[in-house]
Amino acid sequence: MEFKAKEIAEIINGTVEGNPEASISAFARIENGKPGTICFFANPKYEHYVYECKADIIIVNNSFEPQKPVQATMVRVENAYAAIAQLLDYVTAKKRSYRRHRGFRSKSYFSTRFGKKVYLGDFSYVGRRTVIGDYTKIYENVYIGDDVRIGSKCIIYPGVRIYPGMEIGNNVIIHSNAVIGADGFGFAPLENGTYRKIEHTGNVVIGDDVEIGAGTTVDKSQMGSTVIGKGVKIDNLCQIAHNVEIGDNTVIAAQSGIAGSTKIGKHCVLGGQVGVAGHITIADNTSFGAQSGVLGSVKKEGQAFLGTPAIPYREYLKSYAIFRKASAEK
């Protein structure tokens, strides 16, 4: 698909600085920009690429003041990150509309209620009494159990497993081989040293506009629901245990794990490989750096933590300076 600078500016509510007829047909990172591509610049560390970049169009913030000549046509916007996301959404939606994947290609469905223009790929199974919303696309080799509710305009990629009774909102994306609704890790120790399985009778409830990465598992609750709030983004290879609640618009990076019955607030950030202990509460707007080990509740909003056990970010930096000094003296 080809777009001109003036068309892009209209889509993302920007202004053109340069040639409004400059056209592109692909996206590229700013360090790899070449003719026919569009890039974006938002991080000051990458400013030198703006002057070296061969891309035809670069999206920049309104506040950007070039220190050297810029060869590319610039489209100025309030927020370059948000603008490139908006443009990618627009282009992706256009491509999907061209594919015209409609109707059913699998015979493995029973009393399911399908909305308008649902796509169901080969070898996918949808159980009894399940409801699938309008324009949802279920790729090949997907398992969806009985009594599942899936909203409109969702994308379920190949290999996803959704256990019976799960509830999924609108505009949800679930990537390949994710598992929604597996039993949680619940076992009762017995006097003879063995363990007895505790049956899980609850479900998983996923809000609107959620994205769940490949290979991630969200366990169903023992009772009640494991809850993933609206707008939550979970990366690949994460573990969300039973009875966990994750607040709206929280983001969780790859290989992070949250133990059972923990409540994560809204607008929180968990870096890669963060581990969160069970039965604790994390306040809204809390951030944890990569590989943090969270052992206790966080009651005050807006704090940043790092380390294992996780401590406030500034305290960690002071401690690290002491560690380095001690190491140097040996």
* CATH code for the domain in which residue 41 is found: 3.40.1390.10
Note whether residue 254 is domain-resident. yes
What pLDDT was estimated at residue 103? 47
Together in a domain, 94 and 107: no
DSSP state of 274: -
Considering only residues 77 and 327, tell me which one the structure prediction assigns the higher pLDDT.
77
Per-residue pLDDT at 320 exceeds 50: yes
Q: Is 143 helix (H, G, I), strand (E, B) or coil?
A: strand
Together in a domain, 161 and 219: no
Together in a domain, 66 and 195: no
Note whether residue 170 is domain-resident. no
Together in a domain, 187 and 322: yes
Q: What percent of the chain has pLDDT over 70?
A: 95
Per-residue pLDDT at 216 exceeds 70: yes
Q: What percent of the chain has pLDDT over 90?
A: 75
Kindly give, in sequence order, each residue whose CB lies less than 8 Å from that of residue 327, ignoring residues fewer than 6 positions away.
Answer: none
Together in a domain, 214 and 328: yes
- Domain range enclosing 57: 3-99
What pLDDT was estimated at residue 108? 54
User: Of 99, 125, 156, at which residue does a domain stop?
Assistant: 99
Q: Is 180 helix (H, G, I), strand (E, B) or coil?
A: strand
Query: CA nearest 27: which of 60, 47, 53, 57?
Result: 57
Note whether residue 255 is domain-resident. yes
User: Of 165, 189, 219, at which residue does a domain stop?
Assistant: 165
Together in a domain, 192 and 318: yes
CA–CA gap between residue 218 and residue 235 (Å, rounded)? 12
Together in a domain, 180 and 326: yes
If you average pLDDT over residues 160-165, what whole number do you get?
96
What are the pLDDT digits (tens) for 84-119?
Answer: 988 988 887 776 654 444 445 455 556 789 999 999
What pLDDT was estimated at residue 330? 64
Give the residue carrying structure tokens 């929604």.
Answer: 180
Query: Active-site residues: which are they?
Result: 242
Together in a domain, 94 and 108: no
Number of domains in the chain: 3
What pLDDT was estimated at residue 109? 58
Note whether residue 171 is domain-resident. no
Together in a domain, 23 and 61: yes
What pLDDT was estimated at residue 225? 92
Q: Which helix (H) or strand (E) holds 144?
A: strand 143-144
Query: CA-CA distances (angstroms) from residue 249 to 80, 110, 234, 284, 320?
Result: 20, 35, 10, 10, 31
